[in-house]
């Protein structure tokens, strides 16, 4: 399918794999999408600035990049930054079209339904989009797709008006008569209010007056506050809605001064906010912020997980605002067609953005139209890469499932460096543009949004799974059943049932055949430091005592790692350490104990805990896992005691040894074994024989995590 992307300050049309419908979502064939002229042109201009200038404007991003260089080195950081720049960003957040498929859990919509969609993460300028149910509304009656595609902007304006709480007969000023201002003025009129408009463009004032605005503050008026007083018989405005976009602090100052005593000002637009006390204190002006298109916005549980707010507690959510705006359009109480001045076919998108980004006065509304009926493109979910690198004899043909930030920063550059061992056959990602961009950057044969396409490809020998944690076990089983070797990022599974299903696959595998290799991404055991420790342990005569500290850093409660998709920090991250302890002891687990801190709602039960393990060889191990530390202290620290000797490891940069003649080890950057694990995986696939991580050890690391989790929930 075709999708509009913003790349380095220019709009381009790319052929990318179409998205797949998922639980709680609908797949929509887009008929029209609305260009947010102000927002999108601002992003376009920002991308046209040189990198150094953008860096000066965003010092936080510079600090993040410098930290990446310190932790990962210049080469890896450069690859990641180049990947982001070359990938481009999807754009658009308001669209309308026809439902072609519904995911499980969506029962009130069906294929063929006409719908309008919202969301900067979903409602892009693309031939097909997948949108969560709470960001989709049916199009009422005979309302056309073009008008319905403005639903997001309409909901934003409507939420701004709701925040102002207008009552019949009040007078409101709307500052800024761009599209949001035009819609806000009409919505205020529907509420029975008298509307005064203000804008620097007299043409926009005339447009608003033609749609029912009562009066205006002319752009040349030197005293806009005085004009509002005259138009309100000296009372002042009951409220002001700011829909302008400017760096100036004078706009909000003027808005306060226009209000009567105890009036209210609602900020919808983007203006300077250096407030002056004297502007609002004396008259007790209420200053309110309108957050996009209503309650639910920026709440993942509402927008993506489908958890609605009961009407008795939250009458107007973003979804209900969207529905109401479309109803007003359908009943012709609000009009958008007089404001739509340009409708561009999708194929003309690059030229459209150039025109809209020009120096002349921009139109209020501009739309993209899409092919429909017999001219529509089927939703192809696999796109070949014309710049693919050829494979050679002896390479392992591997596919990547999940092209997120970690995979692009770590796995793909390492696969590229190990091109003598691997040929990158395909890249799969939920986001088609991300998959296509990664395929181009790293020379994969094709990109896709459908993992089943990879598993059915007989030219793929192995898959590397780097998706979110809740999909690991299912994808592992599917890949193994398809006969693919599997390298899966930790954790292998999120619960005992998933783990047992993987174990059952190998238990029931025919004894006269060689099963596909399974390797969990416990990369730390392959690091030069862990391998060096293993060498130093050879010949030990007594059990080990291991004390491992993980200064993990704080993650907010709504982070995906804490949700069902992540499984929590014990299962999702501490399993690394349970594997290391198994690797160094080479022993079965005997007992597992764990205690957690429960004194604060700020932290979850698996944020701060201590685990004590005993192994059958008599070794003892403790893990202190905490999110209460400071980032300047090493993230990981190990002390190991045995046979009158001590080994200390700090952040996979420095290994110290006491009581042994052998030297330690030190590196400039952390070396956690990511490249070495790929090399070990390749050797095992090519040569067969012993697995890099025995299956029982992979299972044991996860079983320890599950036992720890039970203790954390009950201790």
Q: DSSP class of residue 618?
A: S
Region 404-409 average pLDDT: 92
- Residue written as token pair 């447009």: 207
Lowest mean pLDDT: which of 319-328, 551-560, 691-700?
551-560
For helices 349-356 and 37-48, give the axis angle rounded to 10 degrees: 90
Q: Is the pLDDT of residue 403 over 90?
A: yes
CA distance 489 to 572: 10
Query: Taking 90 as the threshold, does the pLDDT of residue 362 lie above it?
Result: no
Lowest mean pLDDT among 125-129, 391-395, 426-430: 391-395
| pLDDT tens column, 272-282 | 999 999 999 99
The mean pLDDT value for 19-46 works out to 85
Average pLDDT on 243-252 reads: 93
Provide the pLDDT for residue 375. Answer: 73
pLDDT over threshold 80, residue 662: yes
pLDDT at 8: 80
In whole angstroms, what is the distance from residue 709 CA to residue 715 CA?
Answer: 10
Would you say residue 378 has pLDDT above 90? no
pLDDT of residue 601: 79
Determine contact, residues 108/134, Cβ cutoff 8 Å: no
Average the pLDDT over each of 435-439, 601-605, 617-621, 701-705 and give the range with the smallest value. 601-605
Share of the chain above pLDDT 70, in %: 93
Average pLDDT, the chain: 93
Give the integer Cα–Cα distance in Å for 17 and 449.
6
Nearest by Cα to 30 from 6, 7, 4, 10:
4
**446: CB partners within 8 A, 6+ apart:** 382, 383, 384, 385, 388, 425, 426, 427, 439
Model confidence pTM above 0.85: yes
Mean pLDDT for 248-257 is 96
Helix (H, G, I), strand (E, B) or coil at 605: coil
* Banded pLDDT at 360 (limits 50, 70, 90): low
Q: How far apart are CA 199 and CA 181, in angstroms?
A: 9
> How many angstroms separate the CA atoms of 253 and 239, rounded?
13
| Domains of the chain from N-terminus onward | 2-150+300-375 (3.90.180.10), 160-289 (3.40.50.720), 387-520 (3.40.50.720), 523-673+693-714 (3.30.360.10)
């Amino acid at each position: 399918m075709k999708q509009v992307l913003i790349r380095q300050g220019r709009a381009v049309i790319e052929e990318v794999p179409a998205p797949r419908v998922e639980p709680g979502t609908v797949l929509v064939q887009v008929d029209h999408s609305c260009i947010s002229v102000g927002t999108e042109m601002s992003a376009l201009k920002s991308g046209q600035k040189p990198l150094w200038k953008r860096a000066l404007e965003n010092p936080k991003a510079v600090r993040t990049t410098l930290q990446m260089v310190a932790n990962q080195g210049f080469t890896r950081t450069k690859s990641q930054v180049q990947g982001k720049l070359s990938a481009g960003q999807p754009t658009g957040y308001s669209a309308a079209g026809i439902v072609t498929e519904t995911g499980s859990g969506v029962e009130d919509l069906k294929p063929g339904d006409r719908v309008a969609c919202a969301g900067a993460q979903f409602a892009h300028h693309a031939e097909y989009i997948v949108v969560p149910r709470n960001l989709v509304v049916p199009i009422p009656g005979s309302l056309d797709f073009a008008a319905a595609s403005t639903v997001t902007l309409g909901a934003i304006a409507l939420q701004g008006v709701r925040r102002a709480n207008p009552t019949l007969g009040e007078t409101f000023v709307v500052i800024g008569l761009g599209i949001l201002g035009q819609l806000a003025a009409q919505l205020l009129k529907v509420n029975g209010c008298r509307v005064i408009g203000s804008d620097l463009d007299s043409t926009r004032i005339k447009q608003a007056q033609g749609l029912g605005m009562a009066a205006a503050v002319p752009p040349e008026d030197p005293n806009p506050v005085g004009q509002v007083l005259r138009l309100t018989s000296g009372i002042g405005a009951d409220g002001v809605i700011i829909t302008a976009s400017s760096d100036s602090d004078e706009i909000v100052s003027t808005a306060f001064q226009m209000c009567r005593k105890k009036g209210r000002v609602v900020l919808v637009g983007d203006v300077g906010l250096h407030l002056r006390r004297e502007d609002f204190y004396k008259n007790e002006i209420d200053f309110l912020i309108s957050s996009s298109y209503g309650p639910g916005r920026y709440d993942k549980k509402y927008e993506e997980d489908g958890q609605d707010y009961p009407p008795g507690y939250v009458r107007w959510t973003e979804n209900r605002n969207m529905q109401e705006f479309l109803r007003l359009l359908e009943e012709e109480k609000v009009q958008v067609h007089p404001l739509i001045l340009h409708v561009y076919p999708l194929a003309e998108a690059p030229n459209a953005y150039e025109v809209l980004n020009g120096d002349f006065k921009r139109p209020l509304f501009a739309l993209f139209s899409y092919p429909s009926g017999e001219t529509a493109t089927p939703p192809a979910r696999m796109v070949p890469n014309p710049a693919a690198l050829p494979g050679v004899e002896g390479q392992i043909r591997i596919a990547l499932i999940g092209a997120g930030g970690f995979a692009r920063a770590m796995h793909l550059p390492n696969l590229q460096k190990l091109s003598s061992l691997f040929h990158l056959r395909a890249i799969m990602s939920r986001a088609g543009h991300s998959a296509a961009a990664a395929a181009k950057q790293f020379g994969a044969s094709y990109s896709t949004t459908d993992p089943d396409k990879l598993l059915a490809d007989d030219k793929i020998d192995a898959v590397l799974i780097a998706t979110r944690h809740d999909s690991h076990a299912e994808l592992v089983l599917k890949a193994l059943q398809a006969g693919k070797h599997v390298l899966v990022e930790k954790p292998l599974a999120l619960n005992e049932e998933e783990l047992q299903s993987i174990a059952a696959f190998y238990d029931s595998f025919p004894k006269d055949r060689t099963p596909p290799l399974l390797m969990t991404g416990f990369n730390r055991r392959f690091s030069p430091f862990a391998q060096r420790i293993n060498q130093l342990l050879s010949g030990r005569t007594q059990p080990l005592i291991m004390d491992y500290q993980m200064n993990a850093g704080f993650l907010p409660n709504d982070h995906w790692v804490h949700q069902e998709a992540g499984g929590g920090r014990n299962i999702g991250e501490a399993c690394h350490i349970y594997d290391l302890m198994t690797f160094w002891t080479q022993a079965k687990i005997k007992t597992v104990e764990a205690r957690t801190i429960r004194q604060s709602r700020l932290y979850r039960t698996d944020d701060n805990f201590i685990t004590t393990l005993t192994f059958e060889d008599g070794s003892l191990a403790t893990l202190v896992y905490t999110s209460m530390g400071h980032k300047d202290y090493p993230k990981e620290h190990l002390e190991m005691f045995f046979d009158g000797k001590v080994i200390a490891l700090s952040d996979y940069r420095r290994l110290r040894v006491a009581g042994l003649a052998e030297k330690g080890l030190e590196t400039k950057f952390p070396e956690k074994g990511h490249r070495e694990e790929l090399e070990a995986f390749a050797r095992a696939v090519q040569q067969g024989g012993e697995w890099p991580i025995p299956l029982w050890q992979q299972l044991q690391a996860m079983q320890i995590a599950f036992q720890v989790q039970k203790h954390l929930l009950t201790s």
